[in-house]
């Protein structure tokens, strides 16, 4: 099991919120935290719908991509509509800075709390092993932490979980939200 802050998904979420696109597609993802101080206006309802649809396709592609892209050129935009590409370029510097700050603060919090990437989910797996009365079956699970508000978790695929940083650093929330996924995989 791996645990990390997702830079590409963080960039995409900051751009979604900067453009004031809906937070419901391809599934609900809460607004970023901290809330963005300014929005970039999008012209006309057709353009908003086009950008929302294109953003959804882009976000889905980023979820399915396992690379840790860290530049605009690696953000899988080549197949997206030119309007989305332009909007991403307009927002990219601010989104990149916010995503870098989130990733650094995530790693700082891990160090401050005396935990490393493997320790947080490993403790939860050990708790579940005790509940089940046996060692967990081998499994693969990537946990990507996102800079979103509140306690939130979503499992877009059998081997991937997205969760808020509020869940990442709250053992009770992890047990409540991530526990059922780990129980299923550990059987």
pLDDT band of residue 114 (cuts 50, 70, 90) is: low
Alpha-helix residue ranges (DSSP H) falling in 82-133: 82-112, 119-132
Sheet containing strand 142-146, strands side by side = 2-5, 142-146, 160-164, 153-157
The pTM for the full model equals 0.89
Task: Specify whether the CB–CB gap between 167 and 174 falls below 8 A.
Answer: yes
For the chain, the 3-state helix, strand and coil shares in percent, each to the nearest 5, are: 55, 10, 35
The pLDDT score that the predictor gives to residue 55 is: 94
The pLDDT score that the predictor gives to residue 117 is: 43
The pLDDT score that the predictor gives to residue 118 is: 45
Give the C-alpha separation, 151 to 181, whole Å: 16
Rounded to an integer, the average pLDDT of 94-101 is 94
The pLDDT score that the predictor gives to residue 49 is: 87
The pLDDT score that the predictor gives to residue 10 is: 96
Q: How many residues does the chain have?
A: 187
For residue 64, give both structure tokens: 């399915």
The DSSP code for 117 is T
pLDDT band of residue 69 (cuts 50, 70, 90) is: low
- Residue 9 pLDDT > 50, yes or no? yes
Q: For residue 29, how far is the Cα from the chain centroid?
A: 9
* Cα angle value 115/4/179 (rounded, 5°): 75
Question: 116-132, pLDDT tens digit by residue?
Answer: 444 566 777 888 888 88
Give the residue from 50, 59, 51, 63 showing the smallest Cα distance to 19.
51
The pLDDT score that the predictor gives to residue 27 is: 92
As a whole number of Å, the end-to-end CA separation of the chain is 15
- State how far the alpha carbon of 146 is from the alpha carbons of 140, 149, 162, 181, in Å: 19, 9, 7, 18
Rounded to an integer, the average pLDDT of 2-10 is 91
- Residue 72 pLDDT > 80, yes or no? no
């Amino acid at each position: 099991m791996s645990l990390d802050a997702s830079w590409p998904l963080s960039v995409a979420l900051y751009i979604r919120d900067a453009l004031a696109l809906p937070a419901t597609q391809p599934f609900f993802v809460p607004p970023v935290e901290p809330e963005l101080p300014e929005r970039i206006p999008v012209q006309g309802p057709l353009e908003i719908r086009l950008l929302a649809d294109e953003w959804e396709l882009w976000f889905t592609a980023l979820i399915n991509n396992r690379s840790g892209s860290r530049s605009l050129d690696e953000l899988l935009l080549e197949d997206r509509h030119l309007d989305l590409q332009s909007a991403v370029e307009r927002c990219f510097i601010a989104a990149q800075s916010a995503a870098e700050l989130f990733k650094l603060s995530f790693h700082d919090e891990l160090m401050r709390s005396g935990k490393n990437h493997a320790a947080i989910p490993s403790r939860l797996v050990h708790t579940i092993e005790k509940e089940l009365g046996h060692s967990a079956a081998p499994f693969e699970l990537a946990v990507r932490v996102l800079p979103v508000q509140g306690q939130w978790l979503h499992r877009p695929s059998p081997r991937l979980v997205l969760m808020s940083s509020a869940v990442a650093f709250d053992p009770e929330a992890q047990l409540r939200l991530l526990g059922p996924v780990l129980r299923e995989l550990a059987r």
